[in-house]
């Protein structure tokens, strides 16, 4: 596989992950980040995720990327860490597995795993996109909260015989799955910022849907598929779409490409490359309530675009939830911060 052409990429110094996070993802993360110490408490309480054991497993059964093993991938992960201004370059492992997949694992010292199925599917710039996507997960700190989702899924399975307990847990899991899907949209944006080639990101998403024969696919036709999916049909189609999301941690490929296309087209990508983005030093001052309102308003805007008959009934609900939810989050965050200040 030929290496991608050498070119200068803009370094996004001190970029906050809020710059690229989807509103629904950002709202949840800002709320959790405002509860200082929460992630540390969760890390210590959770015995379900043994990061050290997982690292040893990949160290023993996969190929660790470096200057002498997959050296071009080694360059890509270093470049992504440089562009997104990550403090430490994460380790990258290539695992023999025909199923195309990549993941960022860990919270103390996160690392990335890419399967051979995905490596063989993508060209050089598309690989840069995928690696940047995973570096985005690390910068956003998604691993801690994804671990919470996995723990709750396991707990839900154990209490499935208790009807009320299971129903309550399934509601929480469904909400976390929705956040998980939005975190994937966030990191598609991070991948494009890292490779600085939006078309490479779109190609990668198309290949994940239709395979390696890119000459047989057309981006405009693929976007039309997304528009048809978003429009839906009658109420039966709306219900089927909702049911199809149960248990899904990733958005469907047409949805991902359409969301990435909209983000690039609305100018957000170019504004960030031009230096107009929030810095990490301002993360502590981010308003939890405002981000909650942004998240609710995003859903309302998406439903306004949609011709889906079921979503049309939810537009006014989202508008009122945006205001009420924001006030609630502000109150909770202020109390937590006040309590933390008194203890310190």
| pLDDT confidence of residue 90 | 95
- What does the domain layout of the chain look like in residue ranges? 17-48+143-343
| pLDDT confidence of residue 78 | 97
Question: Which of 125, 134, 177, 184 does the annotation list as catalytic?
Answer: 134
| pLDDT confidence of residue 237 | 66
Half-sphere exposure of 132 (CA within 13 A, CB side): 34
| pLDDT confidence of residue 280 | 92
Half-sphere exposure of 252 (CA within 13 A, CB side): 14
Residue 230 bears catalytic tag: no
d(CA 128, CA 52): 27
| pLDDT confidence of residue 3 | 45
| pLDDT confidence of residue 291 | 52
Query: Per this entry, what is the length of the chain?
Result: 344
| pLDDT confidence of residue 7 | 73
| pLDDT confidence of residue 28 | 63
DSSP state of 95: E
| pLDDT confidence of residue 184 | 93
Strand, coil or helix: 169: helix
d(CA 292, CA 243): 25
**Low pLDDT (below 50) residues in the chain:** 1-4, 47-48, 299, 303, 313-333, 335-337, 341, 344
């Amino acid at each position: 596989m030929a290496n991608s052409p050498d070119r200068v990429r803009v370094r996004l110094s001190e970029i906050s992950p809020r710059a690229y996070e989807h509103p629904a993802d950002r709202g949840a993360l800002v709320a959790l980040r405002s509860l200082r110490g929460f992630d540390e408490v969760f890390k210590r309480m959770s015995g379900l995720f043994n990061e050290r054991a997982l690292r040893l497993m990949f160290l023993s059964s996969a190929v660790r990327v470096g200057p002498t093993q997959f050296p071009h991938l080694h360059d890509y992960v270093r470049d992504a860490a440089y562009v997104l201004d990550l403090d430490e370059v994460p380790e990258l492992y290539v695992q023999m597995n025909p199923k195309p997949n990549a993941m960022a694992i860990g919270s103390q010292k996160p690392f990335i795993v890419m399967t051979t199925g995905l490596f063989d599917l993508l060209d050089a710039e598309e690989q840069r996109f995928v690696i940047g996507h995973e570096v985005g997960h690390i910068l956003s700190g998604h691993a801690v909260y994804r671990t919470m989702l996995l723990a709750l899924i396991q707990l839900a399975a154990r209490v499935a015989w208790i009807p009320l307990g299971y129903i309550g847990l399934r509601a929480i899991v469904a909400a976390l799955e929705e956040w998980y899907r939005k975190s994937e949209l966030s990191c598609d944006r991070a991948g494009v910022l890292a490779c600085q080639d939006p078309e490479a990101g779109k190609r990668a998403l198309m290949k994940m849907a239709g395979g390696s024969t890119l000459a047989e696919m057309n981006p405009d036709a693929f976007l039309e598929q997304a528009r048809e999916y978003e429009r839906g049909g009658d109420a039966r189609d709306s219900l089927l779409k909702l049911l199809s999301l149960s248990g899904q941690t990733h958005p469907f490929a047409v949805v991902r490409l359409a969301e990435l296309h909209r983000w690039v087209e609305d100018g957000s990508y170019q504004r960030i490359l031009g230096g107009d983005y929030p810095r990490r030093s301002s993360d502590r001052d981010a308003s939890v309530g405002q981000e909650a309102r942004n998240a609710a308003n995003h859903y309302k805007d998406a439903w306004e675009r949609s011709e889906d008959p079921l979503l049309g009934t939810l537009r006014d609900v989202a508008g009122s939830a945006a205001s009420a939810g924001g006030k609630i989050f502000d109150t909770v965050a202020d109390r937590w911060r006040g309590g933390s200040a008194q203890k310190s």
